[in-house]
Homo-oligomer: A and B are copies of this chain.
Amino acid sequence: MRRDIFQAIADPTRRAIIALIAVQAMTPNAIAENFNSTRQAVSKHLRILAECELVKQEQQGREIYYSLEIEKMKEIDKWLEQYRAIWEAQFNQLDNVLIKLKNQKK
């Protein structure tokens, strides 16, 4: 049972859930209203998101409010960092080419 953040965001429904609860904390029922699948299916997605600590839960009576654990999202950003370094380097190279072209014009 793989359960890391990359696996969590692979599913489009889960990405939609993340987008929803990023705005405001919501109950499973309220979240499920936004999808065609059953509440239980959404509940399963929430469990997966909770297992890799992408969401936090706050019990309020019989309702449970789910909200995004934004800190966890930084893990993806951290992973991207190495590739961002590459594309920024490429951009700078392009920049150098443009500068050279400019100088040749003179």
Interface residues of A (CB under 8 A from B): 2, 4, 6-7, 9-10, 12, 15, 19, 22, 68, 70-71, 73-74, 76-77, 79-80, 82-84, 86-87, 90
Contacts and interface: CB of A to CB of B under 8 A. Distances in A.
**7 residue pairs, one from A and one from B, having the closest CB atoms:** A10-B10, A73-B83, A70-B87, A7-B10, A6-B10, A70-B86, A6-B9
A28 to B, nearest CB: 21
Nearest to A5: B10
A77 B80 contact: yes
A90 B74 CA distance: 13
Interface centre among A4, A71, A83, by most B CB within 10 Å? A83
